[in-house]
A and B are shown apart, each in its own frame.
Chain A
């Protein structure tokens, strides 16, 4: 028999809180949707959002309750100290790329797509363990491929810098 322990389900709890938050936000903002009564039996634009919010609210409450319930779960081996450190490092690596991506999107309107992508690609690759010259070369390749496919072939106008180029 698989060894097990009794534990709560933090996933259900988090999902339940998320649903309750979304549902209450929908219910609050749905009051500001303008309803025109044309006398044609149309239930109106609020009906579906409110119906979905009620479903989410009820589902969220159920998820929160199930999150607090103690249920048997299969016993996992405890991570070693080294694995724990590695796991923290991976988590930080994900966060650093996310912050980099946010900065990339914000700065793109000023610096333009080409320069921004070159910088973002290089920094992201270096933070993921590439050497600087490999990172730069890879980013350059990505930029060139995007430029040829999207700009030259499909005439997509990618964001340019404030001074009009790139």
Chain B
């Protein structure tokens, strides 16, 4: 099997596709799904093995590469990288961007590796558990994800929850999927499909950051001071010290990734929130905490592996990428489903082996990406800021070839500046936008299924576990702090 993979006709397209993944992932406006979609037509003319190697390679690298602009410029390359705008960017501002990205890369590869091992070992069992999730459980999962925003921004819980409410409201703009009613579109055809997540994200993070920099009074002549590029060996002790956090985040990422529709973005925020709530130094999160870099990146790459679990075992895609992959597998006469593990053993082994080796290839490809993008940091700051503005415009436009998305990006850029001036965290707003449709659809579908009764939301075992976890999440820490204070006094 290994010999078959290590031939030039497999390795060359595989590595080239990984470089494409680095480029697409690092470019705001181009997503991992887009990268896979670009690769698919090429794979039709290839054998199954190099075709699968290209798709698996591009999907893992694009998710990591999204962290590169998120760390350097505070613009997430993909939605799954939004969490990297917190601690990764904070480290870059302190001149440790190269270190943050090297750490990010190694943890990404380790997270992916753990995710693939879990995929190999317990794929059927985990997929069966994922199928136990119905509308009621998904509703609570969405609410639980939103509550993470309160954890992520400890100390400003009320403002964080209000920002999440704004995000959920924004997600309702457009045509209602259940009743087809228009909501807040004001007759605009472009708005009927809803506000695209990417221009909103580029505006809130990228454009707001540019205006903050221009108006901050810092020097715009000199490049941002950065340390020398970090070698792989320099991050090894840090990785070894935080191996527990990496494993925990990767397991969380795999489990969330295995839930159809949840995806790498939810996995990254979930892992970030849990890492913060279990950290000994939660107050350091958001200011350049090492665990704040490690947790989301380990989780989002593990989630890519997790998404393959329901795809392979039941033919149910875990996210948009695996939905495309299912089509490719069919073209190559590989039929996903319970019989795949019995009848298509060679194909399954091939997929597992490619996914494993991709994690090792990710390290050199990722370093090349970090080095290439790091050169931009040597330019004068004002050139970078203007380039970011232009790329934000083009990135927003490229999604639908529409100026509407560019205006959305600009409006949310201004909203981002305003919210930052009011000391309101924008991250929960992003979470609200991502999870809003999930929460609304599952709430309404659940109520329709239960004839308007709220009982199943509260009494089904997994639902009950989730809402109890929600209560513990909100009350656990204040109660713990109250007891600690009382004991001290």
Contacts and interface: CB of A to CB of B under 8 A. Distances in A.
Interface of A: 11-12, 14-15, 18-19, 22, 26, 29-30, 33-36, 38, 40-45, 47-49, 52-53, 55-56, 59-60, 62-63, 86-87, 90-91, 93-94, 97-98, 101-102, 104-105, 108-109, 113, 117, 120-121, 124-125, 128-130, 138-139, 142, 146, 149-150, 154, 156-159
Nearest to A45: B176
Nearest to B176: A45
A49 B184 contact: yes
B424 A125 contact: no
B199 to A, nearest CB: 12
B394 A97 contact: no
Contacts, number: 163
A22 B429 CA distance: 14
Which residue, A48, A142, A158, has most C-beta atoms of chain B within 10 A? A48
Interface string B140-182: 0000000000000000001101100110110010001011011
B452 interface: yes
Interface in B210-227: 210-211, 214-217, 220-221
Given A52-B168, A56-B169, A156 B398 contact: yes
12 contacts: A14-B418, A30-B183, A42-B179, A45-B181, A52-B165, A56-B166, A90-B216, A105-B403, A128-B214, A128-B386, A129-B220, A130-B383
Contacts of B27: 149
A140 to B, nearest CB: 12
Which residue, A38, A49, A62, has most C-beta atoms of chain B within 10 A? A49
B425 to A, nearest CB: 12
B159 A15 contact: yes
B422 A18 contact: yes
Contact of A94 (B165, B214, B387, B398): B214
A93 B214 contact: yes
A121 B241 CA distance: 45
Interface residues of B, number: 63
B418 A18 contact: yes
B333 interface: no
B162 A105 contact: no
B93 interface: no
Interface string B367-389: 00000000000001011011101
Contacts of A109: 403
Interface of B: 23, 27, 30, 38, 158-159, 161-162, 165-166, 168-169, 172, 176, 178-179, 181-184, 210-211, 214-217, 220-221, 380, 382-383, 385-387, 389-391, 393-394, 397-398, 401, 403, 406-407, 410, 414, 418-419, 421-424, 436, 439-440, 443-444, 447-448, 450-452
A156 B397 contact: yes
A113 B410 CA distance: 17
A22 B162 CA distance: 12
Contact of A42 (B393, B414, B436, B447): B447
B448 A129 contact: no
B383 A22 contact: no
Nearest to A26: B169
B290 to A, nearest CB: 28
Contacts of B210: 97
A48 B179 contact: no
A130 B183 CA distance: 46
Given A42-B448, A121-B390, A125-B382, A48 B397 contact: no
B211 A97 contact: yes
A53 B214 CA distance: 34
A55 to B, nearest CB: 5
Nearest to B419: A15
Given A41-B451, A56-B162, A154 B398 contact: yes
